[in-house]
Amino acid sequence: MNKATTDKIDPWRVPIIVTQIPDTGLHRDLEADAAARKAMADVAGLREVLSARASFDVIPKSDGRFQVTGTVRARIVQTCVVTLDPIESDIDEPIEVMFAPPEQIPALSDMVDDDVESEAEISDPPEPIIGGVIDLGRLATDALFLGVDPYPRKPGAVFEPQIAAADPEDHPFAALKALKGNVNAKKPKGK
């Protein structure tokens, strides 16, 4: 995959090489630049992404796994589904994701699937560490997209369908009624 294709899929990239993460973990505060915000808006079908920030803590766990926790905050502009006016909204999404080497994913996913029958709250299966990298920008973008309201509505906007009085002559059988009238008019009386 070339860089242009990757940028279309991942408009905000902040790769972290897992071998460079210290044993004590690391903290990253991110802010998307204008180009990344425009690309995010294009991918998500938004009018605009005014701001996008994320804060992450990446903590090493056993067996090459990493726990990523944080928050994504953004201000976006969408189109109101009722008035078609622009509407600004804030997104504030918490993130908690486990990353693991790809070869561990099937076994860890099976463990989560097996525990589904129990009543305990089960976390999602881990995400794969691809090419030795965790992309915090992609993680932030995914969380931002999940926080977008698919049907944004301005406060107080109400859909009111236009109600027109029904024309009594406008119904599916009106044409048949007209034909019947023509047939009856052509019949001689008494037959």
**Structural domain includes residue 188:** no
Question: Which are the contacts of 104, defined by CB distance < 8 A and separation ≥ 6?
Answer: 63, 64, 65, 126
**Structural domain includes residue 141:** yes
Query: How far from the centroid of its chain's Cα atoms is residue 59's Cα?
Result: 27
Beta strands 86-100 and 127-128 are parallel
Token couple for 111: 């463990």
Q: What's the domain count of the chain?
A: 1
What is the reported pLDDT for 190? 58
**Structural domain includes residue 82:** yes
**Structural domain includes residue 182:** no
Q: Measure the CA–CA gap between 100 and 112, rounded to whole angstroms.
A: 14
Residue among 39, 36, 17, 38 at smallest CA distance from 28 = 17
**Structural domain includes residue 163:** no
**b/e code 29-60 from CB counts within 10 Å (16+ = b):** ebebeeebbebbbebeebeebeebebbbebee
What residues does 98 pair with on adjacent strands? 67
DSSP percent split of the chain into helix, strand, coil, nearest 5: 30, 30, 40
**HSE-CB for 56 with a 13 A CA cutoff:** 30
What is the reported pLDDT for 106? 78
**Structural domain includes residue 8:** yes
Which residues of the chain register pLDDT less than 70? 1-8, 108-123, 159-172, 174-175, 178, 181-191
**Structural domain includes residue 91:** yes
Q: Measure the CA–CA gap between 11 and 37, rounded to whole angstroms.
A: 8
**Structural domain includes residue 108:** yes
- Domain with 22, as residue range(s), is 3-146
What is the reported pLDDT for 11? 92
